[in-house]
């Protein structure tokens, strides 16, 4: 459960960056299923804030279990990122999670000029500064950076793009591989999608051998429509349940 929630926050690279796929006010809500059970929800919302005397994107991501699921595995996650509207580079991240009793309460501050990030751990009352790569992203800003990557909708099958991501006090290589295209049935109708498979360095958020797949709308929005995780027993699936504030109309080809 917690792996799919983290993937939703993540989905949500290269040296070029455009500002075309999203805008302030965009909101997604996903329904998460374990088999036929409605296990929980995850949301992503683009707000606006001020950092370094300039207006920046402030994205808030929340994930939580519902119904009977929360009685045997309670999840309540709060992921946030503040990143530059022009470059996509992050200024600050927030990670407050409770996943079946596993908790974290951290805040990170990026110094892009010095290539460092200072992490305040409120649970353990510590402050540490880490050296990072030049174009590093946090887990939330990665999703939005990838959506605006100019090469995403031009990839050949089997091709991948990568980004350095700071997570759990270190930089790891996140890679997104293009699989193909498929039309997905949603509550609004049929949505043409691009299919990607994410990979993270083995031993980090996800293991490379795990089967994780994400369907992204094949339009200018690059909306995550569906995410599936194949497990040893059963599977988890997240489908988009609510969307508003899109910059462009969602491409729907039929009922």
245 backbone φψ class: left, alpha, beta (φ>0; ψ -120 to 50): left
- Residue 166 belongs to what H/E stretch? strand 160-167
Give this prediction's pTM: 0.89
Q: Position of tokens 């305040």?
A: 120
70 backbone φψ class: left, alpha, beta (φ>0; ψ -120 to 50): alpha
The CA distance from 167 to 138, in Å, is 7
Q: Position of tokens 């193909």?
A: 180
H-state helical runs in the chain: 2-10, 69-72, 139-147
The predicted structure's pLDDT at residue 201: 55
DSSP annotation of 219: S
Under DSSP, is residue 188 helix (H, G, I), strand (E, B) or coil? coil
Confidence of residue 109 (pLDDT cuts 50, 70, 90): very high
pLDDT tens sequence across 48-64:
999 989 999 999 999 99
Is residue 191 packed enough to be buried (19+ CB in 10 Å), middle (13-18) or exposed (0-12)?
buried
Mean pLDDT of 92-106: 93
Phi, psi of 169 (to 5 degrees): 70, 20
- Whether residue 185 is predicted with pLDDT greater than 60 in this model: the reply is yes
The predicted structure's pLDDT at residue 209: 57
pLDDT tens sequence across 74-97:
889 999 999 999 999 999 999 999
């Amino acid at each position: 459960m917690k792996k799919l929630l983290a993937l939703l926050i993540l989905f949500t690279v290269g040296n070029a960056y455009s500002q075309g796929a999203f805008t302030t006010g965009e909101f997604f809500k996903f329904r998460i299923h374990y088999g036929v059970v409605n296990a929980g929800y995850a949301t992503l919302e683009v707000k606006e804030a001020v950092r370094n005397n300039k207006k920046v994107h402030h994205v808030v991501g929340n994930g939580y279990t519902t119904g009977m699921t929360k009685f045997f595995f309670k999840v309540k996650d709060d992921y946030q990122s503040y990143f530059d509207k022009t470059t996509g580079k992050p200024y600050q991240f927030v990670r407050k999670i409770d996943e079946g009793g596993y908790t974290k309460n951290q805040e990170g501050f990026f110094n892009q000029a010095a290539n460092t990030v200072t992490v305040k751990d409120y649970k353990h009352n510590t402050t540490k500064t880490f050296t990072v790569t030049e174009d590093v992203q946090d887990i939330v800003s990665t999703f939005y950076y990838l959506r605006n990557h100019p090469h995403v909708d031009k990839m050949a099958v089997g091709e991948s793009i990568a980004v350095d991501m700071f997570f759990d006090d270190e930089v790891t290589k996140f890679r997104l591989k293009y699989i193909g295209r498929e039309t997905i049935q949603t509550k609004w109708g049929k949505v043409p999608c691009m299919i990607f498979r994410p990979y993270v360095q083995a031993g980090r958020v996800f293991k490379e051998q795990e089967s994780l797949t994400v369907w992204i709308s094949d339009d200018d929005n690059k909306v995550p429509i569906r995410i599936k995780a194949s497990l040893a027993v059963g599977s988890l699936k997240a489908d988009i349940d609510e969307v508003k504030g899109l910059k462009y109309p969602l491409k729907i080809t039929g009922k």
